[in-house]
Amino acid sequence: MRITELFDNGEFVVTAEVGPPKGINVDHVVEEAKEYLSGITAVNVTDNQSSVMRMGSLPACIALKNAGLTPILQLTCRDRNRIALQSELLGAAMLGIDNILCLTGDHTKMGDHPGAKPVFDLDSVSLLHTVCQLEKGMDLSGNPLVGEAPKFAKGAVVSPCSDSVDAQLAKMERKVMAGAEYFQTQAVFDSEKFISFMEKAKQFGKPVQLGVIIPKSAGMAKFMNNNVAGVHVPQHMIDALAADKERAKAGITGVEIAAQIIKECRPYCQGVHIMALGWEAKVPELLKLAGI
Amino acid sequence: MLITELKSKDTILSLLTGKVFIINCHGCKEVWFPEEDANALQKELPNVTGILTTDYICNPEHLKLRLSKHEAAINEADMILVFSCGVGVQTVAGFFPEKKVCAACDTYALPGFQGVTPLEYDCKQCGECYLNLTGGICPLTACSKGLVNGQCGGAKNGKCEVDPNMECGWERIQRRLAQIGRLDALKCPVQVRNYATDAEVSKK
């Protein structure tokens, strides 16, 4: 099932994401997803997230699909050139993966193989363009594909609370032009910023899913403020997390914060994307508290 | 060594808006410059307010001196068309943050000494100059990922995710385009780089 069909039906689409393991056993990932994420629409599977080498997104997507979940294949341009990316897309379509999320990807220097060659032959925009070419039955060079063409729900990302929101909106417009059909955002902690971003982004007419992270501690919030692009946790949330460490540790404070953001932003977006970062078990509680 | 090759006449004509001031760089010895073709083409261009032909326009101090003698013609012009390698175009664009500065050439690499260039501007000798789409700031050298379709999500407080001392190249481009009223350049078709002309790939 392509998640664009749900957006088209006006549904509020809930997705989450999981990261494949640094190893060959996916049982733990699949079990957690089955237990905590089976109630939601689809599950993103990250592609060597933060440039840290792990099992590929595609085989982990297949494992989730076999367990009855709907995976979204994340595809970055950091590790593969246009030949490998197109080849991967054809393989994904053959295996029945029809939801994708196209990203540029973090730089190789950010991860655990900082000496690796960064590829970036394509970027998120030209990758979306490439997917559209494949859907028309030809490759990026214009050579015809044999037989049926693939069809994907094509997603992309945008960072609404970035300090360069104009550059983000310009990039979003280019992604729409290149074929993006839905957007997932970087984690939002400032509803007002998100709402004002959505006022500008609604001109593109594409569904946007609010990005949500459940903050685990004041330390994590401060770390994100200092190190994660496009993420800013306001001081009053950091204070709330610091006020009662046990409550924060148990996830109660974080879930309350995340649920409040979802409630405030819900009228302005078409779905929510939860990046649980290991707290998959809190997702059902978060959705309940947010009234979804 | 480098080769600067004229962009097609149609491409150059499409860049023109209003009155034009032309700068030719007959360069350093490391660059092969298509002097005759450039002269012939410039004779056909309409509304030229003046022509500055000099060498080493990549040297800001030297360029400043040369430009000072053409102040009136430059002020009269709506844009500056630069016939040089990518470093020269960026140096000129750096002098005129509020004027449209366009590259009339593509720069290719040849093996050998690459000339002496200022630290703040670099040309990747990609063979398909992007400076006309980016307000004269090279996205290949100013962006650590060499992105040609806009900013990634990795900039924090205006700095690159790779190097906190490096300004995000695409934020600079966005600001420059806003300054010269050319934000429409961000609506250009999807760019897919041709690595067959790129210095890294084509060098033997």
* Structural domain contains residue B145: no
The domain locations on chain A are: 3-290
Helix, strand or coil, per DSSP, at residue A127: helix
Given a cut of 70, is residue B27 above it in pLDDT? yes
Tell me which residue range forms the domain holding B102. 2-134+189-202
* Structural domain contains residue B31: yes
- Chain B nearest CA to A106, separation (Å): 7
* Structural domain contains residue B127: yes
Cα–Cα distance measured from residue A276 to residue A186, given in angstroms and rounded to the nearest whole number: 13
Given a cut of 50, is residue B92 above it in pLDDT? yes
* Structural domain contains residue B121: yes
pLDDT of the residue at A248: 92
Q: What are phi and psi of B81, to 5 degrees?
A: -110, 125
Given a cut of 80, is residue B199 above it in pLDDT? no
Contacts of B169 in chain A (CB under 8 A): none
For range A86-93, the mean pLDDT: 98
Q: How confident is the model at residue B204 (pLDDT cuts 50, 70, 90)?
A: very low
Given a cut of 60, is residue B42 above it in pLDDT? yes
* Structural domain contains residue B55: yes
Give the residue from chain A lying closest to B140, CA to CA: A120
* Structural domain contains residue B166: no
Cα–Cα distance measured from residue B137 to residue B147, given in angstroms and rounded to the nearest whole number: 12
Residues 122-181 of B with CB under 8 A from A: 144-158, 161-162, 168, 170-171, 174, 178
Given a cut of 80, is residue B112 above it in pLDDT? no
Q: What angle do CA B145, B148, B152 make, to 5 degrees?
A: 55
Q: Architecture of domain A3-290 in CATH?
A: Alpha-Beta Barrel (3.20)
Nearest to residue B86, comparing CAs of B199, B201, B183? B199
Residues in chain A: 292
Q: How many domains does chain B have?
A: 1
For range A246-271, the mean pLDDT: 96
Contact assignment for A230 to B153 by CB distance below 8 Å: yes
CATH number of the domain that B126 lies in? 3.40.50
Q: What are phi and psi of A273, to 5 degrees?
A: -120, 115
pLDDT of the residue at B202: 63
- Contact of B195 with chain A, judged by CB distance below 8 Å, is answered with yes
* Structural domain contains residue B161: no
Contact assignment for B147 to A123 by CB distance below 8 Å: yes
Contacts of B145 in chain A (CB under 8 A): 104, 107, 118, 120, 123
Give the residue from chain B lying closest to A227, CA to CA: B156
ipTM: 0.92
